[in-house]
Structure 1
Amino acid sequence: MLSDMPRYVLDDARDVPDPYPVYRRLREYGPVCRGGPGQWVFSRHAEVSALLRDPRLGREYPERYQAMSVGEGPANDYLRRIVINRDHEGHVRLRRLLTKALNPAMVRALTEPVRALVDRILDGLAERGTWDLVSDLAVPVPVSVMSELLDIPAADRDMIARWSTSLAQAFAVFIPEDKRQEAHDAVVRLREYFADLLRERRREPGDDLLSRMIAADREGTEPLTDEEIVDNALFVYYAGFETTTNVIATGGNVLIGQPGTQRELRANPHLVGTALEEFMRYDAPIHTTSRLVLEPIEISGHTLRPRRVVVLLLASANHDDSVFDNPDRIDLTRSPNPHLSFGGGVHHCLGAALARVEGAVLFERLVARFAHLEPAGTAGWNPSSGGFRYPYWAYESIPVTARAA
């Protein structure tokens, strides 16, 4: 009966440091449960995978829906303009440009520069012995990569990263009144900065990502406005480091907490690719995504009516034992591994290939450089300061003690 159906509300979930037992109970109940007002929540792999690819669901929410979360202002306008929140022709138009700019060849070419960057950082960490996996590694690597891709001057990089962290609040389910202005102010500052960069790149194009976006736009049949280019460039910057930071942090937390996994990967470095996929399955960097129902959908005995919101628990689907044998155990050789950590369908994560390059290089170099890694304290997770920034699963700190090889 509907009255017996459990409820899973995203805003409540921010206070749960380990949501996986909750996910298990939801899957055991059934494929769907109630969420917040007008929401249905799906927790099993079959339904989540199918709904990610269903064209009757979209991401272009009504203006009043975004206003409920962030309030009226620049952040609200920004959210409506970026590729992740556009559907149909608007989405295709923006995604085509971004895919051309951040193409597979460009991503593959980053392997050696990323390896050099990681080695430089690890050189410094090896001298310290104890350090923080998040602030010393998971943040600086992707921030540096995205800054290089956009050719952001070195003197500005810390400032842009701080503003982008404030921008992250705009993606929350609900922003408290006292935090909303911070998100709006971050959008204003970032827009001004990226608009200046855009003008510079139009005068003197280079081989950076923004210059590539300008070139790809000129080749299109329907040019983008400068405002669209700016908003989507700063979204790519933010998403490019936020997602990868969490890939490194969640995977690194698994690695340092499991000596047997470390030994296996150190002895078999060729497994780094499948190991990375397994880390992302085991503790997903993106726990949740949502869609808006555009047309009636019949699924698992339920009717999803238009204008309802569907919440898809990606991290829960990744632990569905009908798809993954022993899902609560790390298996570095797991193949196939159809995890949903980067979503699916037309809204599949644009930065997935970049995150995979950075993650694979980092974990390969990490186990090669250090003979042993272990926790130096309790991993920090503080929801009040954004530890669970919907849809991301984020650690604030992961203390590590490392012994050089």
Structure 2
Amino acid sequence: MDASGLPPRFDALDPAVLEDPYPTYARLRAAGPLCRFGPGSWGVTRHADVVALQRDPRLGSEFPEAYHHLSVGAGPASHFFQRIMLYRDPPDHVRLRRLMSGAFTPAVVRRMRGYIEQTVDDLLAPALESGSCDVVRELAYPLPVLVVSTLMGIPPEAHDDVRLHAMRLGRAFSAIVPADARDAAHESVQWLRAYIGGLLDERRKAPGDDLLSTLLQAEDDGDRLSHDEIVDNTVFSFFAGFETTVHLITNGFAALLRAPDQFALLRSDPGLVPGAVEEFLRFEAPIQGTARLVREPVTIGSRTVRAGRVLVLMLGSANHDEAVFHDPGTLDVTRNPNPHVTFGGGGHLCLGAFLARTEAQVVFDWVLRRTSSVEQAGDLVRESDTPFRAFAHVPLAIKPA
């Protein structure tokens, strides 16, 4: 507590926090289960509270229109956020999630595994010849875009444009979007809506074996999905299918480069890869926090948070809670159990979680099979212009097996 008797304040834009938030998280957890974010908003710091609140019906994800206008400004991006399943509560959230989840079921992803393996090999084969690569540019971004585009039926010639606009839209997932990013977000929403809307018109005339065709069938069956709901949630599903995976892969490489003993352990036992991916997710969660609107008063510790306030569930802090994880600041690819909260929980469990895990497992399996050594070949550069824990550059020196 500070001199006023209030919990300490958390500044997400503090340069020290942007570089390494975990010491600050530790101080906040030690001070109590809540911290102050800003006017009318509180952060939840501890694992047990985050887990419980992820499933608490007194919290909602559907924010009023004014909230989105404050966050990103009035315009297409604000309207987009009001329609996507991420910011909808039951029954609309349940309806949208049921219809959109068809592209990401474990069965669908398992059928894609051969394609994912071939794509990883195609993307990294040049690195084996040249002896170097930048993981971010040459693997982490193109791989999930190719995979999710295939799932959705987006043709190859549009992949680069769709990725560019999805990345610009990604910046708009910040609580307060910087002024210089707002126009780009609005423009990208308009472009993506027009492009996906055009693909839907094509699928109405000639259905295929892809997500867009499946959604149109649901619409035709009277499931009350409007054209705009299909378009906006397809755009969101594309984003959900690649953004977390990008940062999971790059954060995983960065973590291993900084913990060579763990990289050596993986090489000695490739069967540890699935557990290692879970540890990458815990150690450096791509999404560090998620906001919920308090619909009924909620007591956390000794403080009651009133209705109308915002609670930020601090996933990154929960994943480093000493009460749950032994030595949380150390990467441990053998960690078991590993109850991290990176993919959320309850009804808002990340739609693309199984796909992200599968792609990451394929990538690190490839590295262990096809290389004899992977070393850092330059500075690891953080991506500062994003709401995610991300890298702009992860340069590698690679030797083939």
Measured in 1, the distance between the counterparts of 2:275 and 2:178 equals 40
**Superposed displacement of residue 235, structure 1:** 0.6
Q: Deviations over 1:338-363 (max 9, x none)?
A: 00010111111111011011111111
1:114-134 Cα offsets, whole Å, 9 max, x none, are 011111112111112121111
Match in the other structure for 1:185 = 187
Where in structure 1 are there 5+ consecutive unaligned residues? none
State the match for 1:25 in structure 2.
Answer: 27
Deviations 1:190-231, CA, capped at 9 Å, x for gaps: 000000011111111111121122234444x53201110000
Q: Is the 8 A contact 1:97 1:217 kept in 2?
A: no
Contact 2:83 2:232 in 1 (8 A): yes
Secondary structure of 2:177's aligned partner: coil
> Which stretches of structure 1, 4 residues or more, deviate above 6 A after TM superposition?
none
Residue 92 of structure 1: how far off its partner (Å): 0.8
The 3-state SS of whatever aligns with 2:154 is coil
Once the two structures are superposed, residues 16-36 of structure 1 have per-residue CA deviations (whole angstroms, 9 ceiling, x without a partner) of 211111111111111111111
1:170-249 counterparts in 2 under 5 A?
Answer: 170-219=172-221, 222-249=223-250
| Residue aligned with 1:371, SS | strand
Where does residue 152 of structure 1 map in the other structure? 154
| Partner residue of 1:123 out of 115, 122, 125 | 125
CA distance in 2, matches of 1:197, 1:11: 39
Whether 1:323 and 2:314 are equivalent positions in the alignment is no
Alignment of 1:212-291 (within 5 A): 212-219=214-221, 222-291=223-292
Asked if 2 retains the 8 angstrom alpha-carbon contact of 1:58 and 1:87, the reply is: yes
**Pairing partner for 1:139 from 121, 141, 146:** 141
2:396 pairs with 390, 396, 400, which one?
Answer: 400
Q: Which amino acid aligns with 1:358?
A: E
Q: Indicate the percent of aligned positions where both proteins have the same amino acid.
A: 46
| 1:309-320 to 2 correspondences below 5 Å | 309-320=310-321
The Cα of 1:292 is off from its aligned counterpart by: 0.4
**Partner deviation per Cα, 1:100-159 (whole Å, 9 max, x = no partner):** 343221111111110111111121111121211111111111011011112222111111
Quote the Cα distance in structure 1 between the aligned partners of 2:313 and 2:14.
16
Counterpart amino acid of 1:189?
Answer: W
2:257 & 2:398 partners in 1: Cα distance? 9
- SS of 2:382's equivalent? coil
The equivalent of 1:89 in structure 2 is: 91
Moved more, 165-174 or 239-248: 165-174
Shift of 1:164: 0.9
| CA-CA distance at 1:10 after TM superposition | 3.3
Q: 1:271 to 1:218 in 2, by over 3 A?
A: farther
Q: Give 1:401 shift.
A: 1.1
2:105 corresponds, among 103, 106, 128, to 103
Q: Deviations over 1:326-381 (max 9, x none)?
A: 21222222221100010111111111011011111111111221111111111112
Which TM-score applies when normalising by structure 2? 0.96
Instruction: Describe the SS at the equivalent of 2:148.
Output: helix
Matched residues, number? 399
User: CA contact under 8 A between 2:152 and 2:210: conserved in structure 1?
Assistant: yes
Q: Deviations over 1:51-80 (max 9, x none)?
A: 111111011111111101111000000000
Name the CA distance, whole Å, in 1 between partners of 2:276 and 2:185. 36
Tell me the equivalent position of 1:306.
307
* Offset at residue 13 of structure 1 (A): 6.6
User: Which amino acid in structure 1 is aligned with residue 399 of structure 2?
Assistant: R
1:59 aligns with 2:61: yes
Q: Quick one: which of 79, 82, 106 aligns to 2:81?
A: 79
Structure-1-length-normalised TM-score? 0.95
Deviations 1:146-180 (A, max 9, x none): 11112222111111111111111221121222321
* TM-fit CA distance, 1:14: 8.9
The 1-side partners of 2:136 and 2:257 are apart by 13
CA distance in 1, matches of 2:124, 2:56: 43
Contact 1:372 1:402 in 2 (8 A): yes
Shift of 1:258: 2.1
1:345 matched to which residue of 2? 346
Q: Give the letter for the 1:201 counterpart.
A: R
**Residue aligning to 2:8:** 6
Range that drifts further, 167-176 or 306-315: 167-176
CA displacement 1:287-329 (0-9 Å, x = unmatched): 1111000011112111011110001110111111111112122
Q: Deviations over 1:82-103 (max 9, x none)?
A: 0000001110110110123432
| Equivalent-residue separation in structure 2 for 1:359 and 1:215 (angstroms) | 32
> Is the contact between residue 10 and residue 173 of structure 1 (CA under 8 Å) also seen in structure 2?
no
The answer to whether the 8 Å contact 2:33/2:300 transfers is no
Which SS does the other structure have where 1:207 is aligned? coil
Q: Contact 1:11–1:173 (CA<8 Å) still a contact in 2?
A: no
* Equivalent in 28, 33, 47 of residue 45 of structure 1: 47
What is the alpha-carbon root mean square deviation over aligned residues? 1.5
**What is the CA–CA distance in structure 1 between the aligned matches of 2:279 and 2:177, rounded to whole Å?**
32
| Paired residues for 1:357-396 under 5 Å | 357-383=358-384, 386=385, 389-390=386-387, 392-396=388-392
Unaligned runs of 5+ in 2: none
Q: Which letter maps to 1:295?
A: E
For 1:317, give the aligned amino acid.
A
How much does 1:12 deviate? Answer: 4.3
One-letter code aligned to 2:162? I
Cα drift, residue 11 of structure 1: 4.4
* Structure 1 residue 42 displacement after superposition: 1.1
CA distance in 2, matches of 1:26, 1:217: 47
Counterpart AA for 2:264: R
